[in-house]
């Protein structure tokens, strides 16, 4: 298990403890800490089940898909 997976597992445990269904990350430092990618103009969501979603500018889609392990990536126009 990678240290990112360990961090996500810990986040999921804390979410359950505090009754949170999802957390939304918009600060690059927080995204980088949990998923290994902290680009500007992006957001990440982690569900209580440990599923990861990432929204990035459409121009970054291929890069993100090749560098990070997320369950769902969406692109948006900037």
Total number of domains constituting the chain: 1
Q: What CATH number is attached to the domain comprising 44?
A: 3.40.350.10
pLDDT digits (tens, 9 = 90+) for 9-49: 999 999 999 999 999 999 999 999 998 888 899 999 999 99
For residue 7, the enclosing domain spans 3-76
pLDDT of residue 47: 96
- Of the pLDDT bands very low, low, confident and very high (cuts 50, 70, 90), residue 50 is very high
64 Cβ partners below 8 Å, 6+ apart? 37, 39, 54, 56, 70, 73
What is the model's pLDDT at position 11? 95
The C-alpha angle with vertex 58 and arms to 42 and 45, in degrees rounded to 5, equals: 35
57 burial (CB, 10 Å; 0-12 / 13-18 / 19+) is: middle
């Amino acid at each position: 298990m990678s240290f990112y997976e360990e961090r996500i597992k810990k986040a999921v445990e804390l979410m359950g403890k505090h009754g949170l269904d999802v957390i939304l990350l918009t600060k690059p430092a927080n995204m980088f800490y949990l998923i290994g990618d902290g680009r500007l103009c992006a957001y990440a969501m982690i569900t209580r089940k440990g599923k990861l979603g990432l929204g990035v500018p459409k121009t970054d889609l291929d890069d993100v898909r090749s560098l990070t392990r997320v369950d769902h990536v969406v692109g948006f126009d900037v």
